[in-house]
């Protein structure tokens, strides 16, 4: 079979299904939840009711051999509303942490608990960043100590800017077991719902993604059973021993999770960019100035042409990286970072262009482009800033530890 970019019938059907939910449920409620700055539990419940937010659905998305299905779903949901969609997709980061660090048995045990069920949907949280450790995960100060007498791990520290932090059923936490080893001395733990000592109830007020719950998470003598260490203690002890001997220990769990999710994050940014482009195109066809539609002006038409071109180019990078990840092909030139870098910067640029095309109307809350403009900005910051993505790419193509 030759080269083919056609989506399968199943992919097209699922894409249309998700787009319908985004158009009928997410978009009509987007402005209200943005103003309220509250986590939209009713929207999550509707997604769970139709099976979109469920263990079965996510298994179907992740099982797609092309790697594209989750990107298609992300783009459509974030086209609808980035804030509400982030509530759904924030759980995917926790699932990514479980998948990259845990055993298949642990993933099967804790994964469904991140999502809950139709009657009681839940969310998950992946806790890595700290006040003094964002992109530099080697500087994590959260500590995990093993208590042999009780076969428990005791965690202390603070996590910052955590999506679904404090309201999640399952918190997946990266902590340092041996600080002297930097990122090689870290491990990942599951904090089950109701565990004493975990607090994260103060929602951070943000520029965009306002309905998505973001909070600092505090861990004060949090005790979890030994089996909550992802991968198991034997594997951790072996890895720490190799690290102390100076041997290679493989990719750090937090970094491998981000590497896996970068194309998906890029697809989220694409959804916002596409929403802004489509709205600006429709507005330019209907808005008259000097006796004709403004799209008749070359400056407007060319801006829209550039928006469409950049969005399509970014999508191809996202799809390539997603396909490579699903196919087990190494990102030898930082392809995952390329996809996230391009898509995030296109989203910021395209939403700004949309505001400009609408003029004063675009600056008002009567039109959604101002909200998309605010929502887009975070994509050049979280999951690795644009500068970090460029660093990853430059190191990959040069083989030099560029700083």
pLDDT at residue 25 greater than cutoff 80: yes
Identify any residues that bridge with 155 across adjacent strands, giving them in sequence order: 144, 222
Mean pLDDT (whole number) for 171-200: 95
pLDDT in the model for residue 255: 54
Residues 139 and 252 sit within 8 Å (Cβ to Cβ): no
Lowest mean pLDDT among 90-104, 221-235, 262-276, 329-343: 90-104
pLDDT at residue 27 greater than cutoff 60: yes
H or E segment at 147? strand 143-147
pLDDT in the model for residue 21: 98
Cα–Cα distance between 242 and 107 in angstroms, integer? 25
Mean pLDDT (whole number) for 299-305: 98
Mean pLDDT of the chain: 93
Separation in Å, CA 349 to CA 308, 353, 373, 374: 12, 6, 9, 12
pLDDT at residue 292 greater than cutoff 60: yes
Mean pLDDT (whole number) for 180-206: 93
SS3 13: helix
pLDDT at residue 276 greater than cutoff 70: yes
| pLDDT tens by residue, 157-177 | 999 999 999 999 999 999 999
| Paired sense of beta strands 124-127 and 170-176, if any | parallel
Residues 342 and 371 sit within 8 Å (Cβ to Cβ): no
Where residue 107 falls among pLDDT bands split at 50, 70, 90? very high
Where residue 268 falls among pLDDT bands split at 50, 70, 90? very high
Q: 383 catalytic, yes or no?
A: yes
| Domain 253-398: homologous superfamily in CATH | Butyryl-CoA Dehydrogenase, subunit A, domain 3 (1.20.140.10)
**Of 109, 152, 383, 387, which is the active-site residue?**
383
> Alpha carbon 290 to chain centroid distance?
44
Mean pLDDT (whole number) for 333-354: 97
Mean pLDDT (whole number) for 290-294: 95
Cα–Cα distance between 126 and 93 in angstroms, integer? 6
Q: Where in the chain is the domain with CATH 1.20.140.10?
A: 253-398
Q: Where in the chain is the domain with CATH 2.40.110.10?
A: 124-245
pLDDT at residue 293 greater than cutoff 80: yes
The burial class, CB within 10 Å (0-12 / 13-18 / 19+), for 291 is exposed
CATH number of 124-245: 2.40.110.10
Q: Where in the chain is the domain with CATH 1.10.540.10?
A: 9-121
pLDDT in the model for residue 3: 76
Q: Which alpha helices (DSSP H) does 5-64 contain, by range? A: 9-21, 27-36, 41-49, 55-63
- The model's pTM is 0.93
Residues 197 and 221 sit within 8 Å (Cβ to Cβ): yes
Identify any residues that bridge with 170 across adjacent strands, giving them in sequence order: 124
Mean pLDDT (whole number) for 191-208: 93
Mean pLDDT (whole number) for 232-253: 83
pLDDT at residue 256 greater than cutoff 60: no
User: 9-121, what's its fold?
Assistant: Butyryl-Coa Dehydrogenase, subunit A; domain 1 (1.10.540)
């Amino acid at each position: 079979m030759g080269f083919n970019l056609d989506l399968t019938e199943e992919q097209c059907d699922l894409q249309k299904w998700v787009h319908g939910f985004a158009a009928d449920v997410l978009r009509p409620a987007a402005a209200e939840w943005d103003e309220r700055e509250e986590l939209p539990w009713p929207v999550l419940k509707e997604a769970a009711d139709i099976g979109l937010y469920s263990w079965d659905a996510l298994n179907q998305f992740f099982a797609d051999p092309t790697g594209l299905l989750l990107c298609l779903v992300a783009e459509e949901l974030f086209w609808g509303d980035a804030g509400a969609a982030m509530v759904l997709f924030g759980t995917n980061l926790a699932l990514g942490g479980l998948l990259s660090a845990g055993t298949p048995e642990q993933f099967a045990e804790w994964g469904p608990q991140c999502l809950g069920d139709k009657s009681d949907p839940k969310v998950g949280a992946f806790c890595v960043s700290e006040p003094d450790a964002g992109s530099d995960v080697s500087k994590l100060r959260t500590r995990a100590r093993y208590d042999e007498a009780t076969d428990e791990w005791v965690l202390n520290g603070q996590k910052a800017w955590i999506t679904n932090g404090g309201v999640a059923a399952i918190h997946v936490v990266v902590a340092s077991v041996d600080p002297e080893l930097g990122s090689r001395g870290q491990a990942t733990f599951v904090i089950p719902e109701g565990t004493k000592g975990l607090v994260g109830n103060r929602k951070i007020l943000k520029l965009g993604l306002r309905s998505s719950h973001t909070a600092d998470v505090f861990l004060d003598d949090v005790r979890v059973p030994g089996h909550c260490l992802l991968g198991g203690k034997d594997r951790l002890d072996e890895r720490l021993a190799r690290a102390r001997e100076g041997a290679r220990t493989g990719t750090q769990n937090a970094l491998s999770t981000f590497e896996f999710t970068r194309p998906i994050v890029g697809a989220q940014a694409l959804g916002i960019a596409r929403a802004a482009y489509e709205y600006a195109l429709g507005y330019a066809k209907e808005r008259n100035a000097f006796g004709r539609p403004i799209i008749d002006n070359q400056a407007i038409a060319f801006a829209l042409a550039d928006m469409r071109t950049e969005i399509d180019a970014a999508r191809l990078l996202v799809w390539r990286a997603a396909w490579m990840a699903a196919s087990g092909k190494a990102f030898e030139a930082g392809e995952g970072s390329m996809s996230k870098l391009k898509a995030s910067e296109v989203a910021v640029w395209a939403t700004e262009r949309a505001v400009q095309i609408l003029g004063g109307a675009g600056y008002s809350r009567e039109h959604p482009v101002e909200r998309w403009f605010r929502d887009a900005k975070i994509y050049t910051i979280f999951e690795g800033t644009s500068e970090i993505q460029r660093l990853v790419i430059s190191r990959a193509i040069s083989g030099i530890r560029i700083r």
